[in-house]
Amino acid sequence: MPQHPAPEREFTMRFTSTPRGARLARRLVSHRLNDWGHPYTTPVNETLTLITAELSANAVRHGHVPGRDFHVQLTLAEGTFRIEVTDTRDEKQPSPTPAAPDPLSESGRGLLLVASLADDWGVTPRPAAPGKTVWAQLRVPTGGHAYAHPGISDPADSASAQEHNTESIPATSSLPRDGLGSRPGVARRAGRRR
């Protein structure tokens, strides 16, 4: 197993292997990045939050073992963020080159997204226990400036989540929000989405 440089910063936590646990992992990684000087609407925060969301959702969907949690570790070392999501199921290994999904399918694009956003990603066996770790790395420039990853739009192009008191849309989305915090074309009836 390759050695990694000692982390300058580290966040580690276990989450229940449920959709709620996956959402919490995504939110806590975003909060931690904000605390580390990469505000919510910066490309670094939005990119790593999206990668975390995809890897956590995969851990819940494909790596779930009843009664077992999944583990998330975010580290920053030598200008590189590394996100690792570990589950306890080793027989379902993701392919090192994700296949293109059926165009009509509503799922199957997560690892393609991770591969396009991350500078590097892969899968390693879980040490000393059954399972696997899916990881992704994103390099950031020194000096604390936000890294503009290819394919990530400028956060100034979308409405600020704080101005509208809503959760932000990932920067990869091309759908702007209206003044009410919803996407154009999303029908609302009595204040609830259909």
Q: Is 159 left (phi over 0), alpha (psi -120 to 50) or beta?
A: beta
Q: What predicted TM-score, i.e. pTM, was given to this entire model?
A: 0.67
Residues lower than pLDDT 50 in the chain: 144-194
pLDDT for 31: 97
The CA-CA-CA angle for residues 145, 148, 153, to 5°, reads: 130
pLDDT for 89: 81
pLDDT for 111: 81
Alpha carbon 125 to its chain's center: 20
pLDDT for 62: 83
Reported as a single tens digit per residue, the pLDDT across 79-126 is 999 999 999 887 766 666 666 666 665 555 678 889 889 999 999 998
